[in-house]
Amino acid sequence: MNKLLDVVVIGAGPAGLTCAGVLAAKGRSVRVIDKGRGPGGRLSTRRGSSARLDHGCQFLATDDPRGNEIIHGWDEAGVSGRWSPRMPDGMAPPKFAGDHWRIGIPAMNEVVKHLASDLDVEFGFRAASLSRMDDHWVIEQEGEPNSLAASRVVVAIPAPQAIDLLKPVGFSGITELETAQYDPVWSLMLEGDSLPRLEWDALVPEEEPLGLLAVQSSKPGRSASPAWVGLAT
């Protein structure tokens, strides 16, 4: 077992990394663990043959002052910027998004890479279980004789995964977690010169199953090669 940490954060998405950054800035010893090969969560990007395709979240928008402060910091670091997509005639952008959508530059995952850059992050660590030992928590790694010890644990992963870890230890908020409902989102990624050139950059259909179609090459800092991502439920 490694030395006792102040905090272990499970999940290297934007929530977990932001939390870890705040704690580290206050002088806490923090380690972030994630089962993946790199940071991402909903801000994931896949590299195609000629373009980068954001196959998760397409943009960020917030009207919260604290959220705007965080995003402004990303802008100053050069990892995010404004995207003002052209919409088809007669179609307005979602009200919650405002006129300017924020994106990662040169890809959405650049934001989480930036968040992780100054943190102690261990990838390929799938948390198999939590257990209480004396005055601290023990996090066991699945399939490996490895564990971490921490005074506190932050669980920043989807509710179904969090339930598997927290229910066995009697977490008091398990009922709220069990009420969370998830709908799968399918990502369609297309690239190639055969794609038609469009007169708009984003399409938000009024009817399902397609919820959003985004032209990746219209985003600042991206390759000019034709590439689309469609999200459907």
pLDDT (tens digit per residue) in 108-150: 999 999 999 999 999 999 999 999 999 999 999 999 988 999 9
Is 46 contained in some domain? yes
Residue 96 pLDDT > 60, yes or no? Answer: no
| Residue of 213, 183, 188 whose CA lies nearest to 201 | 213
In a domain, 215, yes or no: no
The pLDDT of residue 176 is: 95
The confidence score (pLDDT) of residue 101 equals 86
Half-sphere exposure (CA, 13 Å, Cβ side) for 214?
Answer: 25
- Does residue 219 form part of some domain? no
CB 182 within 8 A of CB 159: yes
Residue 1, pLDDT score: 59
Give me the CATH number covering residue 124.
Answer: 3.50.50.60
Residue 54, burial from CB neighbour count under 10 angstroms (0-12, 13-18, 19+): buried
At 148-194, the pLDDT tens digits run 999 999 999 999 999 999 999 999 999 999 999 888 899 999 999 99
pTM: 0.89
Place 41 in a pLDDT band, splitting at 50, 70 and 90. Answer: confident
Structural domain containing residue 9:
4-181
Q: Taking residues 68-85, what's their average pLDDT? A: 92
